[in-house]
Structure 1
Amino acid sequence: MTERRYDPTTGEWVVVSTNRQDRTYLPGGLPDGAACPLCPTRPGGPVTEIPRSRFEMAVFDNRFPALTRDPPRPSVPGSALTPVAPAAGACEVVVYSDDHDASLASLGAPRARTLVEVWAARTAALRERPEVAYVMPFENRGAEVGVTLSHPHGQIYAYPDIPPRPALELRTARRHHQKHGSCVWCDLVAQEAGGPRQVAAGGEWLAVVPFWARFPYQVELWPRRHATDVVDLTPTERAGLARLLVEVLEAYDRLWDFPLPYVMALHQRPTDGGDWETVSHLHVELSPPHRSATKLKHLAGSELAGGAFLTDVAPEDAAAQLRAARHR
């Protein structure tokens, strides 16, 4: 069963996807005799989801999708108060490498540039589908954020509506533009460039611990130019994003000398055109769950019940630690 159910108390849709209970769950490593489904299919070895003996990067439909092109009819009737709808959209897997023990950081800027090109190509293709309103590439890294396969990979979700977090950002950016006549993200680039919260910078991009960081070591990557989505990036900007992303991920892994878990997501303009061009500013969010080398930031009462985040490290201090880690 997979379907969308509407919450009339918040105006948000929730996907109920019971088929995902059966997805492969291997957060602690592979049991004896098991095969990683994201490794290549090698001669004499087990058949995996990728029917090649070697590859650089692979993209395919998720075997346990929450959203699909031809979703089943909802299993329950809705009402005027609580509508139910088919879970239309797409869920794709992006495998970064045939090396099971690699990471996006260890693969380097050239492979990260390939990933940026994949994000752009899949965004361009998926946004042409009439049921798709928003395309969000993301990566979950580490068992601490619920990863079920340790092979280096990310995902791309194509939603039938704009997810709540990007929708809130877009509404807020629209209010800012109406009041000030400018893009809020462009104003932030101007304010934060070269400041105490900057972690790294390239010619076209900034990496910053945001002033309002919800997670202690959260980093966001902002293009200096008002680029609305990953498709809109020039070749130079795509290369710059790849380089800076790898710099930040390397700093994460050097911070406490272990592979730092994180959630990475691209926020970009919705697919329906409209007036999003003036208020949508592409950005990449990186949210590690750690607040120290040995402690996690758990989302509990204030965050889960109230939506009010409390952070344990000043953004200026986190940025200074990450800058130092870059040069170790």
Structure 2
Amino acid sequence: MADHLDILASQIGGRAIHRRTFTKADGRPLRLYGYQPHMEAPLPQEGGEVAKGGELRWHPLRREWNVYAPHRQNRTFKPSAADDPLAPSRAGGAATEIPFTDFELAIFENKFTSLHRDAPIPQSVIGVESAVAKGHCDVVVYTPEATGNLHTIGQDKRRLLLSAWIDRYEDLFTQGCKFVLPFESRGDAVGVTLHHPHGQIYAFPFVPKVQRDAAAGFQSGYDLAKHMAACRDAYSVTDAGGIDAICPPYARFPYETYLVPRRPVKGPWDFTEDEAAGFAELLGEMTRRYDAFFGQVTPYMLSLHAAPVGLEDNWQFHAKFYPLMRAPGRIKYLASVEQSTGAFTVDVMPERAAKELRNL
């Protein structure tokens, strides 16, 4: 893969989106997205060995594949600000993951990846089905600044992020991945090890159980958009551009929120310009509301759920916010019952959660 510049087919309000694809010294791809072409020459880089994923093992009781990647035990853990690996590199300073002094938005292959296009053949385990963990894991760096969140980075950067997500969906599906999950884990309570504003993308060689079950629900006739429209008066938090932010009546986490297009689409690549702008706005608005309501940087898990390959029939794209708080200063722990049965005990009624978040 050579260092080259191109322009994405998508635009934002008539503005071109530029992508620079660069190969790092260790062979991993780095993609820089921006409203301006990125022309800077790279600084010196570090090479070295890169992990090539783990292996898959089938759980015969839960009926699901899990990923085993012991090399991830050695991944970077809460470095100092001076050693931030997601920051731009500085001339004369230590190399970071991004060998440039500035950028708008960056996506690179995870150095401590769980899934890899060249994943090894798994070891044989008695009585357990195994498979090659072929796939891809990206790190998505929202901004060169060391602090910030989906609200503070602003609408222009959120729209750029959405365009970058769509670009990665297209590429990873072309590579043969079956399900692509852009996500963000935020806060120490979620287990974040790098505090620089960022998310990730996992591209799976199989459709995970949660998505298989969701596909079965859609194929059996469940209409998410129609149901959320019927619930709007009691469960809506806010809306923008034809996208509803809503606490579903079957939420499992206190203050859980879905972002649901009123017009069913398979994935964000099908958005109109208004829907794309509305979705981007709500990513920031829900982050702002959570922090305002809980009075702190709210730990949450955000995930985008687009149609898996082969299970597109009736699928409706949606995004989910799972905050790990049940009240200001009180974490919602997933303890024995939740972990052992999958049956969540929910401390706050979704209709109350919607009202409180709506009234901020």
One fold, TM greater than 0.5? yes
1:10 paired residue number: 62
Percent same amino acid at aligned positions?
38
Q: Distance in 1 between the 2:228 and 2:335 partners?
A: 32
**SS across alignment from 1:144:** helix
- The residue type paired with residue 260 of structure 2 is W
- The residue type paired with residue 186 of structure 1 is A
1:262 paired residue number: 300
Q: 1:104 aligns with which of 142, 150, 162?
A: 150
**SS across alignment from 1:105:** coil
Alignment of 1:1-328 (within 5 A): 2-26=54-78, 30-31=79-80, 34-74=82-122, 76-78=123-125, 81-130=127-176, 132-175=177-220, 177=221, 183-193=222-232, 195-272=233-310, 276-277=312-313, 279-325=314-360
Query: How far does residue 78 in structure 1 lie from its aligned partner after superposition?
Result: 4.5
**SS across alignment from 2:331:** coil
4+ long deviations beyond 6 Å: none
- CA-based RMSD: 1.5
Q: Distance in 2 between the 1:302 and 1:152 partners?
A: 33
- The residue type paired with residue 77 of structure 1 is S
Q: Distance in 1 between the 2:112 and 2:219 partners?
A: 36
Q: Provide, for residues 155-193 of structure 1, a one-character-per-residue CA deviation record: whole Å limited to 9, x for no partner.
A: 000001111212211112212x2xxxxx52122232123
Q: Distance in 1 between the 2:155 and 2:228 partners?
A: 23
- The residue type paired with residue 141 of structure 2 is V
- The residue type paired with residue 311 of structure 1 is V
Aligned partners of 1:117 and 1:238 also within 8 Å: no
More strand by share: 2
- The residue type paired with residue 340 of structure 2 is A
Q: Which moved more, 1:50-59 or 1:233-242?
A: 233-242
Aligned partners of 1:134 and 1:158 also within 8 Å: yes
Q: Provide, for residues 8-55 of structure 1, a one-character-per-residue CA deviation record: whole Å limited to 9, x for no partner.
A: 2222111110010000111xxx448x4100000022322100011111
Q: Provide, for residues 109-160 of structure 1, a one-character-per-residue CA deviation record: whole Å limited to 9, x for no partner.
A: 2111111111111001100112x11001000000110100000000000001
Aligned partners of 2:294 and 2:329 also within 8 Å: no
Aligned partners of 2:139 and 2:200 also within 8 Å: yes
**SS across alignment from 1:6:** strand
Q: Distance in 2 between the 1:244 and 1:265 partners?
A: 14
- The residue type paired with residue 251 of structure 1 is R
**SS across alignment from 1:266:** strand
Q: Which moved more, 1:150-159 or 1:100-109?
A: 100-109
Number of equivalent positions: 308
**SS across alignment from 2:56:** strand
Q: Provide, for residues 278-322 of structure 1, a one-character-per-residue CA deviation record: whole Å limited to 9, x for no partner.
A: x21000000010111111111112110010001111111111111
For normalisation by structure 2, the TM-score amounts to 0.83
Q: Which runs of 5+ in 2 are unaligned?
A: 1-52
Q: Distance in 2 between the 1:121 and 1:56 partners?
A: 16
- The residue type paired with residue 17 of structure 1 is A
Q: Distance in 2 between the 1:227 and 1:141 partners?
A: 27
- The residue type paired with residue 244 of structure 1 is L
More helix by share: 1
- The residue type paired with residue 150 of structure 1 is H
1:180 paired residue number: none
